[in-house]
Amino acid sequence: MSKRVGILLCGLAIASFAMAQTVFMTNDSVAVFYPSNYDAKQHQPSPIFEREPAAVNPLTASWPLRVDFSEKEGHSIATINVADDVDFYGTGEVTGPLRRNGRTIELWNVDTPAYGMDGGTHLYQSHPWVMGLRKDGTAFGIIADNTWRQKITTNDHQVTFDSEGPAFRVIIVERESPKALMQALVNLTGTMSLPPLWALGYHQCRHTYYPDGKVMEIADNLRRYRIPSDVIWMDIDYMDGYRIFTFDPDGFSNPNRLNAYLHQNLFKTVYMIDPGVKVEKGYFVDDQGTAGDYWVKDRDGKVFEGKVWPGACHFPDFTRPEVRTWWATLYKDFMAKGVDGVWNDMNEPAVFERPETTMPRDNQHGGGDGVSAGPHLRFHNVYGMNMVRASRQGLLLANPQKRPFILSRSNFLGGHRYAATWTGDNLSSPDHMKLSVPMTLTLGLSGQPFNGPDIGGFCENSNGELVAQWTAIGAYFPFVRNHNTKGTIPQEPWAFTPEVLNVCRTAINRRYMLMPYIYTCFREASIDGMPVMRPLFMADAKDLSLRSEDRAFLLGGDLMVRPQWAPEVAQPNGGSWQKLTLEDGTDSYQAELRQRPGSIIPLANLAQSTAEMRTDSLTLLVCLDSYGEAVGQLYEDDGDGFGYKKGDFRLTEIKAVKQKKQLKITYCQKEGKMEPIERKVRIGLVSGGKVSYSAWQTGVEMTFSIK
């Protein structure tokens, strides 16, 4: 055991086992298992944890799970035996079903376009985390604190982590429920920062909108066709010869003017920045990086060159703090042109014409700030995470009064602290549409609540039927973006028939009506780690019929969403959740919504962007429980900036009580120092498969007549 770990454990009566390991517990029912040959400099400081787990107590005799460490053929292995009745979840960005029993996933981030439906060995991200759910509803989580290439295997009675690197520690968390387990996970890894409100709206993108006049045309069409939307994205063709932090002198000659036009029309802008820096003297990014010696080296200590979109490229060594600081400074002038958010793509890192489409395993990274130097085999899986860490630093440097929004294709467990993510280059197919539900759910259960797929599919031509179906369900995902690749037909909502346009408009309208509720769900995720989009078993962890359901899902804790292409799904609480029809149109594509008895869901009036959304006029969807009561929450702040961290927000509890033929509504501000406001409110009483609306009233305490 290393000196560092020995110091950490000094003074504790630590439990030692015959399998040559050392174990301690924190003060929060978390057990940390160390193999006897653990070398901290190969793993610490861990990128996973916001704070290093501290030894407080020895392992209790009643602790249910143990770790068996072993070595075989140069691999370090950790095995955890479990009971046969455990359902496994998590493991990050994976294909296949929600329930992960009997699966093997390789943790090695790879550019994987048009990935398969099931059995894919690895995708763009790595999350060495397994969640176990027992029949009695209790839950446990297992973290392999290891960035080196490894495999996770989840047999019915055993979890195995098999690593190509040195021996690693394992952290096991025990909790009474899945919700408590998610809270425990973020207690270790940190929470997601609250995103700007605009990032929760609808995003329109493709590879690629060129030139800037095409971007303006897309913006005009979104407003012309009355499709609520907040963000338009710029893929790599906005750059000058794919040189990052530049603009094409012909197609995007005046980015300030373009961004001002979009801002005037209530759009935000997101631009792509890749890690590959074109090798070219006179190009300021390459010149600065070369002068500072900021690049990843090959095994002989020479600067590594790899081919990506610009041709030969250098790659920043983001393990080094001085490189991250330099990278952050590049954003200041870039963001000053009116850029609102950043898209970090190709950051596995992808390298063309190379084995596994990435740089060699024996490339060298310098480390620093407590991180020892080491090979790419160790740092590959956190390359993207370290990049978005630096990018977030840059956005905060450029705009310290704004919440950063960064989307990253590659990431690692704990990377939710820096960026949102999407599920990569999927296919325009019904199968991939259906796959997007368990993929999004699994990322949420792996600590990444802000994620979603390319709606409509990225690779190959989509069609109107698919875009209609996918938008009808995708409108309820945490991240909602329509995106496709070059060489395929357009797939914007208006690109097909009037029927498809109407379906997409209705679905997106419903998202914007639900925005007060969705924003409240994101606030919950930023506080206690609960996924915004959740599996049905979160409604009742003891209901075994919900364990494998991965077509329907929950949005927050109070709204169930069922796609029309899944007519028969498991139902929480014996089917007692009430059908809910939002008033804005209906068709055969829209998802079926059900509301939890005892809940209140706040709705906003229709708006074309979140910038127009107001919460002083609300519809409250009230679904009474068997006692004639319901309760809900509404979170409000400025939608951007960091005033909420100083208490400039309002968290309101809303209660409804049925008293004979009247429904009494009361408000109570639970948290925050924003002043209460008088609201114009109407009630939508959800019962018997329909919604009965009241007249509008104004006040803090209101009484409505009901039948």
Distance from C-alpha of 341 to C-alpha of 42, rounded to nearest angstrom: 34
For the chain, give percent helix, strand, coil, nearest 5: 25, 30, 45
pLDDT at 2: 41
Q: Alpha helices of 231-310 — where are they, by DSSP H?
A: 255-264, 284-292
SS3 (DSSP) at 149: coil
| Domain residue extents for the chain | 3-189, 520-705
Distance from C-alpha of 572 to C-alpha of 178, rounded to nearest angstrom: 15
Q: Which of 345, 558, 637, 640 is catalytic?
A: 345
Strands (E) located in 349-466: 364-365, 374-375, 406-408, 411-412, 420-422, 451-452, 454-455
Residue 460 is among the residues annotated as catalytic for this protein:
no
Residue 156 is among the residues annotated as catalytic for this protein:
no
* Token representation of residue 350: 């992808």
Q: Is the Cβ–Cβ distance between 332 and 266 less than 8 Å?
A: no
Distance from C-alpha of 204 to C-alpha of 233, rounded to nearest angstrom: 6
SS3 (DSSP) at 626: coil
CA 567 to mean position of chain CA atoms: 27
Q: Is the Cβ–Cβ distance between 441 and 470 less than 8 Å?
A: no
Residue 134's nearest CA partner among 694, 541, 674 is: 541
Distance from C-alpha of 493 to C-alpha of 286, rounded to nearest angstrom: 40
Q: Is the Cβ–Cβ distance between 603 and 618 less than 8 Å?
A: yes
Distance from C-alpha of 196 to C-alpha of 640, rounded to nearest angstrom: 5
Q: Is the Cβ–Cβ distance between 54 and 171 less than 8 Å?
A: no
Residue type, 158: Q
Burial annotation 515-531 (CB, 10 A radius, 16+ → b, else e)? bbbbbbbbbbbbebbbb
Distance from C-alpha of 667 to C-alpha of 679, rounded to nearest angstrom: 10
Q: Is the Cβ–Cβ distance between 239 and 283 less than 8 Å?
A: no
- Cβ neighbours of residue 28 closer than 8 Å, sequence gap 6 or more: 184, 187
Strands (E) located in 242-338: 268-273, 277-278, 306-308, 311-314
Distance from C-alpha of 663 to C-alpha of 154, rounded to nearest angstrom: 50
Q: Which of 87, 348, 454, 549 is catalytic?
A: 348
Which CATH number applies to 520-705? 2.60.40.1180
Burial annotation 10-24 (CB, 10 A radius, 16+ → b, else e)? eeeebbeeeeebbbb
Q: How many CA atoms lie within 13 A of 122 on its CB side?
A: 22
Distance from C-alpha of 24 to C-alpha of 38, rounded to nearest angstrom: 14
pLDDT at 4: 38
Query: If you write DSSP's letter for every residue of 509-541 in order, what string do you get?
Result: HHHHHTHHHHHHHHHHHHHH---SEE-GGGG-T
Count of other CB atoms within 10 angstroms of residue 3 = 9
Q: Is the Cβ–Cβ distance between 508 and 514 less than 8 Å?
A: no
pLDDT at 122: 83
Q: Running along the chain, 707 residues long, what does each successive block of 10 average in pLDDT?
A: 38 42 88 96 96 92 95 97 95 96 96 82 93 98 99 95 98 98 98 98 98 99 99 99 99 99 99 99 99 99 99 99 99 99 99 96 98 98 99 99 99 99 98 98 98 99 99 99 98 99 98 98 98 99 98 99 97 93 84 98 98 94 97 98 98 96 94 93 94 90 84
Distance from C-alpha of 438 to C-alpha of 441, rounded to nearest angstrom: 5
Residue type, 229: S
Q: Which of 235, 274, 340, 425 is catalytic?
A: 425
Residue type, 531: P
pLDDT at 119: 57
Q: Is the Cβ–Cβ distance between 48 and 384 less than 8 Å?
A: no
SS3 (DSSP) at 619: strand
Distance from C-alpha of 131 to C-alpha of 87, rounded to nearest angstrom: 8
Distance from C-alpha of 438 to C-alpha of 93, rounded to nearest angstrom: 10
Q: Is the Cβ–Cβ distance between 349 and 108 less than 8 Å?
A: no
Distance from C-alpha of 638 to C-alpha of 673, rounded to nearest angstrom: 13
* Token representation of residue 375: 């090979």
Does 3-189 match 520-705 in CATH topology? Answer: yes
Q: Is the Cβ–Cβ distance between 414 and 47 less than 8 Å?
A: yes
Q: Is the Cβ–Cβ distance between 438 and 412 less than 8 Å?
A: no
Q: Is the Cβ–Cβ distance between 505 and 226 less than 8 Å?
A: yes
The label of the residue with tokens 């899902």 reads 553
689: buried, middle or exposed (CB in 10 Å: 19+, 13-18, 0-12)? Answer: exposed
Residue 293 is among the residues annotated as catalytic for this protein:
no
- Cβ neighbours of residue 18 closer than 8 Å, sequence gap 6 or more: none
Length of the chain: 707
Q: What is the largest CA-CA distance in the chain?
A: 82
pTM: 0.96
pLDDT at 699: 80
Distance from C-alpha of 190 to C-alpha of 53, rounded to nearest angstrom: 12
Q: Is the Cβ–Cβ distance between 418 and 391 less than 8 Å?
A: yes
Residue 51's nearest CA partner among 193, 192, 190, 191 is: 190
CA 252 to mean position of chain CA atoms: 30
Residue 184's nearest CA partner among 63, 88, 8, 50 is: 50
Burial annotation 102-141 (CB, 10 A radius, 16+ → b, else e)? ebebebbbbbbebbeeeebebbbbbbbbbbbbbeeebbbb
Residue type, 41: K
Which CATH number applies to 3-189? 2.60.40.1760
Q: Is the dihedral of CA 234, 236, 238, 244 positive or negative?
A: positive
Q: Is the Cβ–Cβ distance between 435 and 424 less than 8 Å?
A: no
Q: Is the Cβ–Cβ distance between 107 and 152 less than 8 Å?
A: yes
Distance from C-alpha of 355 to C-alpha of 361, rounded to nearest angstrom: 10
